[in-house]
Amino acid sequence: MTPAPVDLRSDTVTQPTPAMRAAMAGAPVGDDVFGDDPGVNALQEAIAARLGFEAALFVPTGTQSNLCAILAHCGRGDEYIVGQQQHCYRWEGGGAAVFGSVQPQPLEHAPDGTLPLAAIEAAIKPDDAHFARTRLLALENTLGGQVLPQAYLDEATALARRHGLATHLDGARLFNAGVAQAGQGGDAWAEARRIAGGFDSVSVCFSKGLGAPVGSALLGSRAFIARAHRIRKMAGGGMRQAGVLAAAALHALDHHVDRLADDHALARRLAEGLDGIPGLAVQPPRTNIVFADLQGEAAARGAGLIAHLRSRGVLATGLYRLRFVTHLDVDAAGVDRAAEAVREFLSRP
């Protein structure tokens, strides 16, 4: 019998667990556009309270959550400061510029994923008709699996406040950051709340490591969420009987946060399995994402690696670097199989 594929392309490929499916099947529903879906209301109230915000908005995707955030903070002719590798700049189709006429001001990241404070301050435009109005600082945590240092987050958000800027955190993998920051035996929820605490708005994804099939939440003040709600409607994000989806997200919040530590351990196991393979430089993971770069002669042969892995039942991505992402549908045998398939390919004469 052929073993099931080991899908390491992303933590977005997770399947709902049997318990999650049961929660979805039994969910009471209403019409969320009218504000009367009890599951959606419960989800919004729960995540806002647990992360220390006044209100939250359930949206179909993280991309829409970031779009609603940027457009709720900024108007036409405004700009937001953002990193070159952040999702809301590089990977979301330029939505803020296309739909909101909001200009991004991208900056280069430091090796640890931060945006240098001096670079942020230098990018803030003076109040002059020649310039777009700098309104927002957007950060992302985790970024490429890296956890931004808490001291940095505190300093960056304080800098933004001194200059009158709003702050937004793309926390698609906020709970991965919280688990990593808490360490073994720590309180991941407390750390996630601490990470989010300095920001005016935060986006959290349920369909990555938390394992829900759909959905993100945008958090902020009641006034901010009211603005974002209007933008969600314009963007086509008003869902009807969405309680079946909210039930999955609620189940994930109750049962899948602490288990993210298992994904982090598997990522470390995979990195150890890849370490020492000739022609491969592995970046030690902090959370659930392992990056590796082909070097020397191996780089010239790299085009065939993804196809080779697929032939061995291992799915990975190599869009700009070799990337493996662990999640709740991957086990130790799977990551060992992936490491062996890479070793097999790169050991060929």
The predicted-structure confidence for 124-164, as pLDDT tens digits, reads as follows 999 999 999 999 999 999 999 999 999 999 999 999 999 99
The answer, yes or no, to whether residue 320 has pLDDT greater than 90, is: no
Q: Are residues 221 and 185 in the same domain?
A: yes
Please count the structural domains in the chain.
Answer: 2
Residues 78 and 96 in one domain: yes
> 324-349: per-residue pLDDT in tens?
999 999 999 999 999 999 999 998 76
**Domain-ending residue, one of 254, 270, 304:** 254
In this structure, are 157 and 268 located in the same domain? no
Judge if 244 and 264 occupy the same domain: no
Output the domain CATH number for residue 313. 3.90.1150.10
Amino acid of residue 45: E
- Is residue 1 domain-resident? no
135 and 269 belong to one structural domain = no
Same domain, 229 and 273: no
The band of 318, judged by pLDDT with boundaries at 50, 70 and 90, is confident
Residue 233 and residue 288 in one domain: no
Contacts of residue 251, Cβ cutoff 8 Å, sequence gap at least 6? 19, 20, 23, 24, 212
Across all residues in the chain, what is the average pLDDT?
96
Same domain (yes/no): 75, 224: yes
Domain termination site, one of 237, 254, 271? 254
User: Interhelix angle for 174-182 vs 188-196, to 10°?
Assistant: 120
**294, part of any domain:** yes
Q: 77 and 214, same structural domain? A: yes
Mean pLDDT across 271-281: 95
Q: Which residue in this structure is represented by tokens 């991957």? A: 330
Residue-range definition of the domain harbouring residue 66 = 31-254
Nearest in space to 259 (alpha carbons), one of 326, 202, 324, 203: 326
Q: Torsion angle, CA of 26/27/29/33, rounded to 10 degrees?
A: -150
Degrees, nearest 5: CA angle 306-83-292: 25
Determine the length of the chain: 349
pLDDT for the residue numbered 3: 81
Q: Both tokens of residue 148?
A: 């931004």
Let me know whether 142 and 210 are in one domain.
yes
The predicted model gives 65-76 an average pLDDT of 98
Per-residue confidence (pLDDT) for residue 1, from 0 to 100: 64
